[in-house]
Amino acid sequence: MDELHIGLVGLGRMGRGLGGRLHRAGIRVTGVDPSAEAREEAGNVGIDVSDTIETLVERIPRPRMVWVMVPAGEATLAAMTRLAHLLDRGDRVIEGGNSDYRDSVRLHEQLAQRGIAMLDVGTSGGILGQEAGFALMIGGSDRDVEAWRPVFETVAPGPDRGWAHVGGPGAGHYAKMVHNAIEYGLMQAYGEGVALLHAAGDLDVDVTEAARAWRHGSIISSTLMDLTAAILADGELDRVRPRVDDSGLGRLAVQTAVERGVAMPVITQALIERIRSRDDEGLSARLLAAMRGRFGGHAVPTADPDPA
């Protein structure tokens, strides 16, 4: 494994964690990122840093192996397009962002025409992945997966766990889309459950202790439950604004479910709740209150006057 030398495009939290994990296993990593801060932090975990993608490609031995870990969408497409013109026939590239699986299918076809072998790898693990390992969902051919096997076995939590070849081109990011959709549902359920604990009133339930008990031996134990217990224990909720963004994969999952005729009520509602949390104006709720007043004579709550 000492002879492996991987190029890494994107040195953000995920890319840096992935590169650091490879470096500790004795795999040489050369990375690039437009952020000077990201490049400096990557150097601190043993990643060699290049100034440009062109320089990175020059420094990687043939046949080259390059892993792209940049934000999904335009950034990923731009990086893959540049690499398509820099790499040679026989080189290999991984697209590891949270990408639209349909884009991945197109990229596979475009790179194959140039003789460049691509894998789409849905990657999960967040900032904890550098130590615990990353879960990998891989799409592409058996031959290409085998060529990357030593890398996957190192990046994953273990050589025989946490990574899988889930199908052909696009399948890796399709599986990651579903993974993120399930994550939406789990997070929503944990949030609602904790809210109900808080509403226990005179039962005086210790919410933090209940979450701590659920971490071990419980059917609902998970990494997300570990994080929930930690958040409750350190009082972080008092400092958090009730607004939840979404990265886009949850929306794509709901759209795909509708297109394919798959019922996903829990995940769809979780997405709607995230969108609702961003309605600072509360227009729909204010209209409902006003309608109740008009047709039923119910009291209508009034907004506080503008302190300005």
More confident call, 2 vs 134: 134
* One domain, residues 158 and 30: yes
- Phi and psi at 64, nearest 5°, equal -75, 150
pTM summary value: 0.91
Within 10 Å of residue 178's Cβ, how many Cβ atoms? 19
* One domain, residues 119 and 264: no
The one catalytic residue among 58, 183, 259, 273 = 183
Segment 280-290 shows an average pLDDT of 87
| Residue 183 is among the residues annotated as catalytic for this protein | yes
* One domain, residues 26 and 149: yes
* One domain, residues 226 and 259: yes
Model confidence pLDDT, tens digit, residues 226-240: 999 999 999 888 888
The one catalytic residue among 3, 37, 40, 176 = 176
Coil, strand, or helix at residue 134? coil
Q: Determine contact, residues 175/145, Cβ cutoff 8 Å.
A: no
Q: Please report the pLDDT score of residue 282 as a whole number.
A: 86
Residue 205 lies in domain: 177-277
Distance, CA of 28 to CA of 148 (rounded, Å): 14
Distance, CA of 36 to CA of 287 (rounded, Å): 49
Q: How many domains does the chain have?
A: 2
- The pLDDT-based confidence of 307 (bands split at 50, 70, 90) is very low
| Residue 176 is among the residues annotated as catalytic for this protein | yes
Domain boundary among the residues 135, 169, 203 is at: 169
Distance, CA of 257 to CA of 76 (rounded, Å): 24
Which CATH number covers residue 142? 3.40.50.720
Model confidence pLDDT, tens digit, residues 4-41: 999 999 999 999 999 999 999 999 999 999 999 999 99
Distance, CA of 238 to CA of 207 (rounded, Å): 14
Coil, strand, or helix at residue 291? helix
Residue whose entry in the numeric block shows the structure tokens 């949030």: 191
Whether the predicted pLDDT of 308 surpasses 80: no
Judge whether 75 lies within some domain.
yes
Judge whether 293 lies within some domain.
no
Which CATH number covers residue 261? 1.10.1040.10
Residue 105 tokens, joined: 């299918």
∠176-103-174 over CA atoms, to 5°?
20
- The pLDDT-based confidence of 1 (bands split at 50, 70, 90) is very low
